Structures are given as C-alpha cells and as structure tokens.
Structure 1
Amino acid sequence: MIKDKNIICISQTTWHGEFTKSTVQLLSLLAEHNNVFFVEYPFTLKDVVMSLLGKQKAQVGRMLGLKNRIVDEKTENGSIVKHLVMPPVLPIDFIKNKTAFKFLFGINTYLYKRQLLKVIEKYSLSNTIIMTAYNPMYGLPMIGQLNESLNVYYCYDGMDTRRHKSRIFNIEKEFCSKVDGIITTSDFLNSEKKKLNSNSFVVKNGVDYKLFVPFAKKSVSKSTTPKKIGYIGTLDQRFDIDMVEHSVNELPDVLFEFTGYLLNNTIVERLSKYPNVSFFDPIKANEVPKLLAKYDLGIIPYIMDEVNKNIYPLKINEYLAVGVPVVMTAFANLTDFKNIVQVANTKEQFKEHILNELTNDNDALIKERIAFAKQNSWEGRAVEFGNILEKFYNEKSQESSLK
C-alpha cells in the first residue's frame, strides 16, 4: 500500500455532509500513512451571495480568505486530512457561447491553479500525486501545471449534463486519455474507461463496517406491527417512481419510508397520497445504521438507463451490514451480489421479490448478509486503492528514469 506520499485530491464534493462519500472514506484511511489534502468543490460567487442571504450553506469566510482556507480535519481513525476551501469562481456553466465560456473558464482555472500552487509552496510539497475525484472539469486544465509526479482519475459515476452541460462528455474523454491511470467503482465504468486509457482498474465501494455492526440484527423481527421497507439516499431523477408506486399500491399493509435529500418533487407528489408512505429529511452518516436496523427490507429502485449502468451503490453494503434483505432494480450488472440480493426487471417482479423477502427471511440469511458486508469494508477497499496508486507511481517513476 502506498506510503509517505503527498496526495492532493481535486474533488467534486464537499468533505462534510449527511451522506457517505467514497472519496472521503478512502482519503481518511490513506491519510494514516500519507500527507493528504482535500480540495473542496469550487463554489461560485453566486453561492457566496446565496449563503449571505441565508438560502444556502457555504463556508463564506474561508472562501473569501477571512478565515484560514486550510484547516485540519481529524478523521474517525485519528489521521489528519488538510481541508482546503478554494476562492469563489465565476458561475459560468449556463453560458452556451464557446468563446465566452472558454475565456471565463480560463479565469476560473487560473484562480484554481494559483491557489493550489500557493498550498504546494506553503507546505513544500514535492513528488505530489494529484487525484481528481469525479471532477474532470478542473482536473484536465491542472494536468502538468502542479509539478506533480502522478495524475490519477478516480471516477465513481457516469457523467451527466446536470452540472456542466453536454460539454463535460468531451472534457472527460480528453481527461481520461491524458491521466496516468484511472480507478473506477464498477466493472461497467471500468470497461468504458479502458477504451480511453488501458491503465484502468476497479475498486468498488465499501461500508464502514465498524459503524454498522453494533446495530446489526440478531434475528427476524417477531413484531405484529406492519413490516417496514426503507430507502435511504438522494431522491432524484435516478429514482424509478413507477416501480415503487406499483409496490406501494399493491402492498397497502406494508409501510414504505424514504429518507434523504429531495431533488425530484415528483416523487413526493406521486407517492405521498398513499397512507403507507412517509418521507423524512436526510440524517447524518453516523445515524444511518440505527435507522436501517429498524427496517425489514431495503430497496434500491433506480431507473434502468444508460447513466445508472455506471453505479455501484454505497447503500447496498450498508443494508447488508445490518442484516437487512435488499431488493433492487436491474439498473446495473452487479454480479458480486448475485446470490445475496434480489434483482427485478419489472414492477411486478419488484413487488414479488419484496413479498418473498419479507415472508421468507430468517436468522441464517441475516448472518450471511452481515458476513458478506464485512468482506467489503472501507479498510479493505483503501488497501486495494493504495496498492493501485503505488503501482501507478512506481510505473511512472520507472518511465521517468528511462527518459
């Protein structure tokens, strides 16, 4: 596993938040043996204004340099990650004119690069590994600009047009072809990236097993109260409303609870009319195990389309870690879970799988799910990830020595 290296992560997410992030989990563990810097998603001037108006939450003081842009984040395992908040950039994703966009984005990348170079100089970083986590928009213009020894792309989802419009597809393709290596989270993603860069490998998502196991079920609930089905995660365009509504309507004696960020109001509009459906605000990551443990079954009802083929859902191992049976749609080819979860191609099949799992669950199956999830701990995934980084680093060093 890689050790004693400087790693700067150009991220597409924030460090903090209610839901688990694979980037944060991996970097927290890599920080035990490496000097890790996490670069927060670059907020815009619009985000500053909206935050000052109380309509959004962003760390305005740090963004504007009124407070330290870099702070130490102590992870659960006791390691330290340097957390960097960038200066605000111009909001330009809406601009359609290519010339105008290129000019203004050049300003943004200049600000971004200047801040990173300041950090590199301040901490006397050398032989740095740049790890771009699902942010090719800023990862591409940084290649070769930071005196890095290695440039790696960590890709955990397929690209879509919601944030950067259709231009992101060509940007990501070019980025994939230029980086030294790629690490993806699913076999499908890896097969796609290998077409652009042969140095592509898979490290699948994991679970914080130590956090979940204290809440793991010991036996099937004998309660006479209605069975409860849970979904925890973002309620967005990926969610298959038709699939879920059919089960909700056909199983009126089963309670369905949905917890998470609501980004698609149609979900509530369609499902809240049913008396056996409830919606709840998102909860903190450390509160998830206790909530999951009260369910008799967990669902992952993603739409079966080209974008969702890329997904290896974090929640699948979290459900299993507390012993909960899982029913999901056939949105991705997740062969690892072939014998441990139920996969549906139709809404009728989705409902039947739910009924079968609720009816036939037993204590032995609970133990089997928990044991399966234990094999997918983040600690194990971090070792895999670190070993691939070390392979990339050694190969690049050998190439450099031959020149």
Structure 2
Amino acid sequence: MKKLIFIPYQDIFDFSNTGILTREYSILKFFMDNGIEDVLFISKPRTILDKKNFKDINFPKESIEYAVYKKIMQSKKIRYETAITLSLFTKKRSWWIEGYEQVIEKIKKMDLDYKNTIVYSNNPFSYKLFYFLKNKGATIYFDMMDNLALHPSLSKQEQESANYCYRESFTISDFCTCNSQAISKYCEENFSRHPAVVKNGVFPIKTKFDIVDNNIKEKLDKLDYFNEKYKLSMGYIGKLGLRLDHELIENIVVENPNILFVFVGPHLSGQRNKKLEILFEKYENLLSLGSIPSAYINHFLNKFSVLMIPHSVGSYENGGDPLKLYQYLNTQKPIISTGIEGVNEFENIITISNDISDWNRFIAENLVNNTKPYNSPESIYWHHRLAPVSKFLKMEEKGFE
C-alpha cells in the first residue's frame, strides 16, 4: 500500500479555520478513494504572528469535508513554528523556504518507507523538501495551482521567488499538473515543462444532509426572508475582491430593483474592493452574507433562481479555471458570466457577455422562465479531471498495491 506525504499550500490549519474544500483537499479525497490510507500532513512554516490553531468543525458526517477532516484527525502531522523571524517581514512567503528546511530535520527523525511514498504538493516554496524526499526514493507529484509568479496578491519579490521555486519544483518532480492551458503555456515557455492540465472540478451531488451549523441556519433564514420580497434572486459564491466588476454589478442592481442580488463569500483583506463594499450599503436589493464552509455551498445555490460570475475581464484574472462555474453547473441552473478565461468551455450551456444590456436581457428572460434546461457536463467532475493523475499512478482499476 502506497503512502502519501501531503504538502498543501492551504494547510490543515487553513482548512480547519475556513472549512473550505480547496483544490488540494479534493485531490486528497481522490487519493483516499483510490486506496491511500496512510497520510503524513506537512503544514506551512509559521511564526507566533501568523500562527493558527486547529479548529474543531462540526461538518455534516455525509459531506466530503467531513471525510477529509476525519483523515486529518487520524493522521500524523508535522509543522515548524518559530518566534519572530526577520525573514517574515523582508521575504514574506519566501521565508517558507527556510522553514521547510527545518521540516526536513523533523522528517529525518521519522521511520518512513520512502520508496513506497508519493509526495503531493502545490506549494513551490517547499521545493527543498522535494529534493530531500526524492533523494530518499519518494515519487514527487507537483501541482501548479494558479500562478504565484504573476498573482497580484504577491509582492514583486515574492513573485520572483515563486518563479524560481517553480523552476526547481518542476526540475525535481516525477509528474506535474496545472489547472489551466494558460499556466501550461507559461510552464513551457519558462521552465521547458509541459504539465498535464487538470482543471478544478466538483464531486457529484449525491446526498442531502441536515445543517448542523447554527450560523449557516441563520444565514439561510436571512436569505429566505429576502427571497420572499423579490421576484427572482441572482447568486454569486466566491471570494469578494478586486476581480469583481463593481460597475457591472451596480448597473444590473439599479436596472433591476425587483431582483435580489446575493454574494456569498469572504471579503479579501489583501484585495479589498472598497467600491463594491459601498454598494452593499447603498442598495437594498444587494446582499452580502459572508463566508460559509464549502459543505453548504449547494444549500445556498439551491436558494437562487440564477447564478452569476460578474468578474472584470483582464484585470485581476488569474489562471483561467473558475471553480465556481463548475459548482454552478452542478446545480443545472441558468448561468451568466463575463468573458473571463476558462468559461468558453461551456459556451453552449451558459450565457457569456461583457455587455451590460445582455445581462439585463438575461435577467428579463429568466423572469418569465425562458431558459432551456441542461444536464451537468460529465467533464466537471473530479474523476474525469484527474484522469491523467490516475493514469500516472496506475490507479484505474485496483488502486495502489
């Protein structure tokens, strides 16, 4: 039986604090479903300034999130913590490189069967850890999620460091993937590697489960109250930052006072969209409900009549792999999006336009239920998305031996 060393960018403390099943943990669930039981979790290096405590979350036991949470609780975990280091201020994320070197010292004290171990990571700053594990005989699988070398939330120094770390990660990896064609092209041009494109995905909606979180119950009750006051509701689920087109949002809100527009997700502290935040205070038919654990995404999506992605085109785009679109398609509800990268894959199902008049027309059509039903595309599901990984790891039929 193969073992897994799991080195996620969003570590177990991020997962326990947000309750959000990010790409890393969806891939972890895929590993679990294909026979891997023994997992070692390695968290990001932290100081007393950014230290996070592991929170107990009351996930519904039928949810994917609960299965992942249970695996974390049952498994061995490593993290490196220190007091205050100057590198945290001068290098920011780049100081993780030093921190992961300290993790190597912790691993040396463990009795691991390296030759029967797969290492998964989407954190390029841990590349020195990859070298250590590869030299011991482990198989390295590196997943380039987004592109930190271009990401607007990182400083120029961090971006340059990320680019160097990507080069090292691709050099040592036995297998590599990325989440969009744009990133694959970037890798070819900058690192002479051609990673398999594994876009984000979703799991099929199989089980309806009870809500065990009182905060979620309160938010759903609030949404029900507002829904009763309007003819139709348009929903958005995702992080609220600068990528949202505040001008488009204000226009459709003003032009459609009988429609409720709802945004579910946290406001990004590093990319605060202050112009958008003002709109929530200005218009009665515009509602922000804050963040929710991903286990309850479908509870909220089911409350909306139609779903939207009002993102700015060009500005603050990153990667061309909109996870929320796949979550939306999983509900079989009408969808409209601006023409951001990645949405054209489903242009025969959803409405794509940057024109405000098209958005208002789409809303008017849905007021009279003039949209065609569709089946959720098979290609949005993780078992389809991860076919290249399955092939590489020879898991198609019998799992790991």
- TM-score range normalised by the length of the shorter chain: 0.7 to 0.9
Residues 2-22 of structure 1 deviation map (CA, whole Å, 9 limit, x = unaligned): xx3222222110342333312
SS in 1 for 2:231: coil
Verify: 1:88 aligned to 2:81, yes or no.
Answer: yes
Q: 2:282 is matched with which residue: 273, 280, 296?
A: 273
Conserved 8 A contact 2:177-2:197: yes
Aligned to 1:399: none
SS in 2 for 1:272: helix
The one-letter code matched in structure 2 to 1:58 is: N
Q: 1:136 is matched with which residue: 124, 131, 134?
A: 124
The one-letter code matched in structure 1 to 2:111 is: K
Verify: 1:242 aligned to 2:247, yes or no.
Answer: yes
Instruction: Give how far 1:388 is off.
Output: 3.4
Conserved 8 A contact 1:153-1:183: yes
Flag the 1:149–1:308 CA change in 2: closer, same or farther, 3 A. same
Q: Following the alignment from structure 1 to structure 2, what is the Cα–Cα distance between the partners of residues 19 and 297?
A: 23
Q: Following the alignment from structure 1 to structure 2, what is the Cα–Cα distance between the partners of residues 268 and 83?
A: 42
Flag the 1:241–1:122 CA change in 2: closer, same or farther, 3 A. farther
Verify: 1:180 aligned to 2:189, yes or no.
Answer: no
In structure 1, the gaps of 5 or more residues are 49-56, 61-72, 216-222, 392-403
Aligned to 2:8: 11
Give the TM-score taking structure 2 as reference length.
0.75
SS in 1 for 2:11: coil
Conserved 8 A contact 1:271-1:277: yes
SS in 1 for 2:90: coil
Verify: 1:324 aligned to 2:333, yes or no.
Answer: yes
Q: Following the alignment from structure 1 to structure 2, what is the Cα–Cα distance between the partners of residues 212 and 341?
A: 25
Size of the alignment, in residue pairs?
349
Residues 118-173 of structure 1 deviation map (CA, whole Å, 9 limit, x = unaligned): 4xx3344434322221x1112x2223212243322212212225356333343244
Q: Following the alignment from structure 1 to structure 2, what is the Cα–Cα distance between the partners of residues 22 and 107?
A: 25
Q: Following the alignment from structure 1 to structure 2, what is the Cα–Cα distance between the partners of residues 105 and 39?
A: 12
Residues 84-112 of structure 1 deviation map (CA, whole Å, 9 limit, x = unaligned): 25122455343069xxx98x666423212
In structure 2, the gaps of 5 or more residues are 56-64, 211-227, 396-401
Flag the 1:239–1:225 CA change in 2: closer, same or farther, 3 A. closer
The one-letter code matched in structure 1 to 2:50 is: D
Flag the 1:28–1:323 CA change in 2: closer, same or farther, 3 A. same
CA RMSD of aligned residues (A): 3.4
Flag the 1:341–1:297 CA change in 2: closer, same or farther, 3 A. same
Q: Following the alignment from structure 1 to structure 2, what is the Cα–Cα distance between the partners of residues 212 and 230?
A: 22
Flag the 1:213–1:230 CA change in 2: closer, same or farther, 3 A. same
SS in 2 for 1:310: coil
After superposition, residues 33-72 of structure 1 pair within 5 angstroms as 33-34=35-36, 35-48=38-51, 57-59=52-54
Aligned to 2:392: 388
Q: Following the alignment from structure 1 to structure 2, what is the Cα–Cα distance between the partners of residues 354 and 114?
A: 58
Flag the 1:47–1:9 CA change in 2: closer, same or farther, 3 A. same
Q: 2:262 is matched with which residue: 250, 257, 269?
A: 257
The one-letter code matched in structure 2 to 1:235 is: L
Q: Percent sequence identity over matched residues?
A: 21
Q: Following the alignment from structure 1 to structure 2, what is the Cα–Cα distance between the partners of residues 265 and 308?
A: 14
Aligned to 1:341: 350
Conserved 8 A contact 1:244-1:347: no
Instruction: Give how far 1:115 is off.
Output: 2.7
Instruction: Give how far 1:214 is off.
Output: 8.7
Aligned to 1:113: 104
